[in-house]
Amino acid sequence: MQRRDFLAAAATAGAALAFPDTGHAQTPVTQQRSIWIDAQGGISGVDEKDGRLVPTPQLIDAVRQRRLDLVSMTVAEPGNGPDRFRSAVDAIAIWNRFINENRAQFARVESVSDIVAARAAGKLGVIYDFQDTTPLEGDSARVATFAALGVKVMQLTYNRRNLCGDGCLERDNAGLSEFGRETIAKINAAKVVLDMSHAGQKTIAEGIVASASPLAITHSGCRSLVENPRNTFDAEMRALANKGGVFGVYLMPFLTSRGQPRREDLIRHLEHAVNVCGEDHVGIGTDNPLLGFEINDQSRKEQREFYESRAKRGIAAPGEAADVFNMVEGYNDALRYEHLESDLSRRGWRSTRTAKVLGGNFMRLFGEVWPAGS
């Protein structure tokens, strides 16, 4: 995906998105419930008008109904390619303008106090993140530059190899480079959360050891349940937890060996992750748009084109397919956290455990890594 296409996709994501009929009542969420955090998601329901991003009524309604408190959103195109630094700066500027022009609904988040303030005001808190370090363009000093621009979570590698190390689709599994170790030190120094999602097994293991701060794998699954390179082995999940980190489970096709995953697949991965990491070290990073996907002929066409583009670039992981959407059936709308809370309760989860996994654990991690707010 080229820079222009990446920004256009972000700007028009709401065009094919809606609230599918789930059979659940869409009632407002009370202010008293626990905090809900999507550690890797997206603000869908955005149109582009006259070169500006504008929220759709569906998005505004989801924010007002408090379907989510905080979302971490990627603001730089992942993968190797040209002009990544400037493209990332441009994207940050675009989303800054969007938030500034819609400050009644959204708040950019750089500290835990920002999260608390946004939630109290009924706004959706927005974290800026990178899913790759390619925007650094080989200069680790730019970590501090992007931290100053509001990027609060940085993923070290994407699926393929970059200057920092091997992604999960590299057969050599070579681990971290010296530049990768240098970059991790810069991320720690800038008080940014280090994210090891999409990394190869050895890169994850070495990154956990190298990091001086607690870190995250914001969106992955359990490899002992489904053998897929996008999923994470128990050993690395356990090491992450022992470092004080949080393992985020995604709502992606990789939760099952083939086809579209269902609710029971997600819950199976969550329960395994809790058994391996402990309930204080598991969270949610959906890797989904906030409003979900409307499944129709147009969205099927777009999914096919999306997959074919990724396959052509060599960044599509096993399990991705032209006819498989990046979602979990039953959680394909803005009500997914409410559905999941209810489903986990029926599974016998204590409310305190559910509260930790749906947001409390990432809240704790952010508080430990980020500088204190004003």
Instruction: Report how far Cα 210 is from the mean position of its chain's Cα atoms.
Output: 22
Angle at which helices 112-120 and 361-369 cross, to 10°: 130
Tell me the residue length of the chain: 374
Q: Which of 331, 308, 194 is nearest to 252 (CA)?
A: 331
Contact 159, 315 (CB under 8 A): yes
pLDDT above 70: residue 13: no
2 to 25, 85, 158, 169: CA distances (angstroms) = 40, 13, 16, 21
Average pLDDT over residues 198-221: 98
- Per residue in 260-316, pLDDT tens? 999 999 999 999 999 999 999 999 999 999 999 888 899 899 989 989 998 888 888
Nearest to 273 by CA among 344, 209, 211, 357: 357
Query: What's the pLDDT at 304?
Result: 93
CATH code of the domain occupying 3-16+25-369: 3.20.20.140
Q: 342 vs 6, which has greater pLDDT?
A: 342
- pLDDT number for residue 299: 85
pLDDT of residue 21: 37
Helix, strand counts (H, E) of the chain = 13, 11
As a whole number of angstroms, the distance between CA 253 and CA 259 comes to 7
Residues 147-168: tens digit of each pLDDT: 999 999 999 999 999 999 999 9
Q: Please tell me the distance from the alpha carbon of residue 134 to that of residue 81, in angstroms, as a whole number.
A: 8
Structure tokens at 88: 């990332």
Backbone angles phi, psi at 126, to 5 degrees: -125, 120
pLDDT band at 53 (very low <50, low <70, confident <90, very high): very high
Close Cβ partners of 218 (under 8 Å, ≥ 6 residues apart): 39, 40, 72, 129, 153, 155, 195, 197, 246, 248, 283, 285
Cβ-based burial of 148 (10 A; exposed 0-12, middle 13-18, buried ≥19): exposed
Burial label for 354, CB within 10 Å (0-12, 13-18, 19+), is buried
Q: Domain map of the chain by residue range?
A: 3-16+25-369
Q: Is the pLDDT of residue 15 over 70?
A: no
| Alpha carbon distance 284, 279 (integer Å) | 12
CB–CB of 195/154 below 8 Å? yes
102-158, pLDDT tens digit by residue? Answer: 999 999 999 999 999 999 999 999 999 999 999 999 999 999 999 999 999 999 999
CA distance 190 to 154: 11
Give the bridge partners for 283, in sequence order.
248
For the chain, what is the largest distance between any 2 Cα atoms, rounded to a whole number of angstroms?
A: 53
The mean pLDDT of the chain is 91
Is 97 a residue whose pLDDT tops 50?
yes
Predicted local distance difference test score (pLDDT) of residue 373: 66
User: How confident is the model at residue 26, as a pLDDT?
Assistant: 45
Distance CA 117, CA 303 (A): 37
What are the structure tokens assigned to 71, written together? 């979302």
Average pLDDT over residues 327-351: 97
Q: Residue 292: left (phi > 0), alpha (psi -120 to 50), or beta? A: left
